Amino acid sequence: MAADRDAPEISGEVPPGGFGAETPAENEGLDRGQVIGAAMLQCSRWAGRFIIVAVATAIVFWLLSKLWVGLLPVLLALIVSTVLAPAVSWLRGKRWPPALAAAVTLVTAVLLVLGLLAAIAPSIISQTGDVVSQASKGIGEVRTWLEGPPINLDNEQFDAAVQEATAWLQDRAADIASGVFTGVSAVTSVLVTMGLVAVLTFFFIKDGPAFLPWLQRATGRTAGRHLTEMLTRVWLTLGGFIRTQAIVSAVDAFFIGLGLVLLGVPLAPALAVLTFMAGFIPLVGAFVAGALAVLVALVSNGWVTAVWVLVIVLGVQQVEGNVLQPLLQSRSMKMHPGIILLAVAAGGTLFGIPGAFLAVPVAASVVVALRYFSEQVDLRTGDLRPEDLQLATPEGAITAREAELAGARTRSDLARRSAEELAADTSQPSGRGAEAGRQTGSAPRGGLRRRLRRR
C-alpha cells in the first residue's frame, strides 16, 4: 500500500512533448548561469566603484602637488594653532578680545623660542673657540696618521692631493656658486613660509571658533552637524600629535644631552636643545643632530668619545623611533604603529621632508574620518548605539540619534518587504500545478529567480 501511495498518479493526459519532457519554467531549478551572472554583476559594480575612487584619489594627489607651495603654510599653521588654541581660549574666557588674546599668545610663543635660543647662545660662543682649536689639532692628527703605516702618505703626495682637490673645486666654481644661490633662495623660501605660517596662525586662533558655525550655515544642518563632529575630532587628534611629538623630542634631548655631559663633550646644552628642535623633523632632523654631536665629540675629545656618543645617539634614536614614538602616537591617535611608519615613508617619498613631517597628522585625520563613517554605518545597522560612542560635540549626539532612528526605519521596511515577498512566493495556483509545486518545492526557487532577474 505504501508503494501505491508513493507511485505517481497516472492519467490519460500526456504532457506536451510526451512523457519525460521538461517541466514548465516556473517549476525548474535555478539556472547555474543566473547565479554566476549575478555574482559577476556584483563584482563588476564593485570594480567600477573602485576604479572611480582610485581615479578621484589620483586627481586629489595631483592637485596637492600643484598647490603644495600654498598648502604647506596652511597645514603648518593649523598644527601650530592646535598648540596655541588652549591658551587663547583661556584668555578669551577672561573676557579678553579675540584679536588681543591671539596676538599676546602668538608673541609670547615667539619670544619663548627666541629666549631659548638666546639662553644657549653664550655657551656656544664661549666654547666655539675651543671646538675650532680642537678641530685644527684633529686635522693635524689625521695628517700624521695618513703619513704613517699602513697608508704611508708623504708630504708631497698630501700636497698633490690638496692641489688636485683645489683644482677640482675651481673647475666646478660655477656649479658651486649656483648651488649657493639655490641654498640662499631655499633659505628665503623658508623665511617667507615661516612668515605666512605666523600670519595664518594669528587668524586661525583669532577666528577659529567662528569657523564651525559658519560651516553649518554654509552646508546645511545635516551635513554641518556631521562636519562639526568629525572636524572637532580631527582637531583634538592633531593636538594629541603635537603633544606626543614634544614628549618624544624631550626624551631624546634629555638622554642624549645627559650622555654628552657625562662624557665631557663641549656644547652639550646647545646640542640637547638642537636635538629637541630637530625631533619635530622626521628622519633628517634626528640624523643631522646626531651627526653634529658625534662630530663635536670627535674634534674635541677624540675618537673614543666620539664612538661612545655615536652608540648613545643610535641607541636613543632606535628606542625612540621603533618603540616610544609609535607607542605614544598609536595611543594618542588610536593608530597602529605600522600605519604610522608607512605614512612617514609614503609622505617622505611623495613630498620630501615636509611630507614626512605632515604624514602622521594627515594619516590620523584620514583615519578619524573613516572611523566616523564606520560609526555611522554601525548605527544604521544596529551594531552600535549612541551610548556606545565617545562623542565630541552636541551635534555628534544629534547625528548619532538620527542615524539610529533611520537605521531602525530601514530595518523595519526591509522586514516588511521580506514578509511580503515570502507570502507571494508561498502562494501557489490551485489544482494539479499546486500539488506539483508543493511536491518539488519549486516555488521558493522561482521567487529567488525573479529576484535575480530584477537585479
CA distances from 167 to 158, 173, 219, 389 (A): 14, 10, 67, 70
Alpha-carbon distance of 288 to 278, in angstroms, equals 8
CA-atom Rg of the chain in angstroms: 36
pLDDT in tens, 434-453: 444 444 444 444 454 555 45
Regarding predicted confidence, which is higher, 282 or 70? 70
Name every residue whose Cβ is closer than 8 Å to that of residue 25 and which is 6 or more positions away in sequence: none
Mean pLDDT of 69-85: 85
Grid cell locating 188: 628665503
Evaluate whether 169 touches 176 at the Cβ level (below 8 Å): yes
Q: Give 122-142 pLDDT, tens digit per residue.
A: 776 776 666 666 666 666 666
> Nearest-CA neighbor of 273 among 249, 297, 291, 247?
249
Residue 284: Cβ within 10 Å count: 14
Band (297; pLDDT cuts 50, 70, 90)? confident
In this predicted model, which residue has the larger pLDDT, 372 or 192? 372
What integer pLDDT is reported at residue 183 of this predicted model?
Answer: 43
Measured between alpha carbons, how far is 412 from 397 in angstroms, rounded to an integer?
23
The pTM of the whole model exceeds 0.75: no
- The more confident residue out of 290 and 187 is 290
What is the 8-class DSSP label of residue 384? -
Q: How far apart are CA 203 and CA 224, in angstroms?
A: 22
Each residue's pLDDT tens digit, 172-225: 555 544 544 444 455 567 777 788 888 899 998 988 888 888 888 888 888 888
